[in-house]
Structure 1
Amino acid sequence: MSHAAETAAGGPAELTRAQQSVKEHSAAIRWASRILPLIGLAVCAGFVIAGLKSGVLSSQDDLRAFIDSLGFWGPLVFGFASFASVVFPIVPGGLLVLAAPVLFGPVTGTIINWVAVCAGSLLNFIIARHIGLALIETLFSEKLVEKYLGWTRHRNFARAFAIAIVLPVAPDDLLCYLAGTTKMRFSAYAIIILLGKIPTLLAYGLGISALLATVVPW
């Protein structure tokens, strides 16, 4: 564990049970954080191949008909996958953000994105508040953590964090975890996430999806 993480945890003698568990299983957690995204991408590729072979992806109407046939389970499973990808890198979250408006329509897809991403971001804060930097330095490279750890020491961190959420200029998932190690109140954090994710998801999810629809014939 780095000096930064050791300081945040109060030193080796003051590790909580959760922090001790992370320390003991750090190698497995680090391995999973590297391998699972690759598995997730492979699964996504498998779904695309299967969709092309079955004809589901032959047109947007066929895809929408298939999604509608899933009923309640379609949005639920997709939303859970999106939520999980925010907390732990199962698949790149950006892919799911782009896919939601295509799969469920611009309004429903954006709502699913917002609920899932916000829920995952709120959980990241809670996890970090209870475990500290121990888990963060396991999921992310120490160099990357140290690079953005300086933000948390700035007196205007809340303002910088809000700007980063609205205008993604830094890794959101890492910043959300780091925010949980600061003195920021959960209520202030929640407001920033719930409001700040709206313009981001509208611009990224709807904007890029619409752009792709004009470029890629379907």
Structure 2
Amino acid sequence: MNRFIQLQDKYKKVILLVCTLVVILGTVIGYQQGIFTDQTKMEAFLLSCGIFAPLLFVLIQAVQVVIPILPGAIGCVYGVIFWGAVKGFLLNYIGICIGSIWAFLIARHFGQEFVLQITGSKFFEKYSKYLVKENRFEKIFAILIFLPVAPDDFLCYLAGISKIPLKRFTLIILLGKPLAILLYSMGLNQLFQSMLALIA
């Protein structure tokens, strides 16, 4: 039984590592082609994907959490503009939740030094002091996830080296993300539409 558990853990680590390498490779290629940095190129890429466009957009949103390239707000607004309010919100929500859980698992596997490299020393020093008290960090994390201005991506990495269980982390993400995504999606979309109206 113990041997089976060890093998299972080993396979999970291998799968996580392979997925992480695939994400890094895909991000490098996407970045070089401008998919992650140019809205026009992203739109052209998604249009060329046909029925697979929603799935790829979810993947792009997940990747932007794991490897922050653009502010998450930009992807949220684009999802609403491209697919409309309801479908855009759902695709944003699914992608960002997947990416958040992915970042958590990567941090839990690779540890504190890796997280320090990803988040930077300034962010790490600011928030890592709360890791000492498990319950305090969990409460702070849960509150910040609800806020649209919080550095969610880095917080997910930091949560990965905390003592928060995966199930509890997932629950916080699933319950906390909708409000922030909704505010980003609708608020910035309204701003975008207002700017277009002024230009017109």
> Could you say which TM-score interval applies, normalised by the shorter chain?
0.7 to 0.9
Structure 1 position 46, deviation (Å): 5.0
The 5 A counterparts of 1:7-22 are none
Structure 1 position 124, deviation (Å): 1.1
| 1:172 equivalenced with 2:172 (yes/no) | no
Task: Give the counterpart letter for 1:128 in structure 2.
Answer: A
1:201 counterpart residue number: 181
2:78 counterpart residue number: 99
SS at match of 1:182: coil
Is the alpha carbon distance of 1:48 and 1:204 closer, same or farther for their aligned partners in structure 2, counting shifts above 3 Å?
A: same
Equivalent pairs counted in the alignment come to: 173
1:88 counterpart residue number: 67
| 1:145 equivalenced with 2:120 (yes/no) | no
1:162 counterpart residue number: 142
| 1:79 equivalenced with 2:71 (yes/no) | no
On the 8 A contact 1:40/1:90 being kept in 2, the answer is no
Structure 1 position 208, deviation (Å): 1.6
Q: Deviations over 1:113-153 (max 9, x none)?
A: 00000000011111111111122122222122111111222
SS at match of 2:50: coil
C-alpha distance in structure 1 between counterparts of 2:51 and 2:106, whole Å: 29
Task: Give the counterpart letter for 2:164 in structure 1.
Answer: M
Task: Give the counterpart letter for 2:177 in structure 1.
Answer: K
TM-score (norm 2): 0.74
Runs of 4+ in 1 over 3 A off after TM superposition: 39-47
Residue number among 182, 189, 208 corresponding to 2:169 in the alignment: 189
Mark the runs of 5 or more structure 2 residues left unpaired by the alignment: 1-12, 14-23
1:126 counterpart residue number: 105
Is the alpha carbon distance of 1:91 and 1:148 closer, same or farther for their aligned partners in structure 2, counting shifts above 3 Å?
A: same
1:28 counterpart residue number: none
Residue number among 109, 118, 121 corresponding to 2:88 in the alignment: 109
The 5 A counterparts of 1:58-77 are 67=47, 70-77=49-56
TM-score (norm 1): 0.68
Report 1 or 2 for greater relative contact order, CA contacts < 8 Å, sequence distance ≥ 6. 1
C-alpha distance in structure 2 between counterparts of 1:71 and 1:42, whole Å: 19
The structure with the larger Rg is 1
Structure 1 position 71, deviation (Å): 3.5
1:48 counterpart residue number: 40
Mark the runs of 5 or more structure 1 residues left unpaired by the alignment: 1-17, 19-31, 57-65
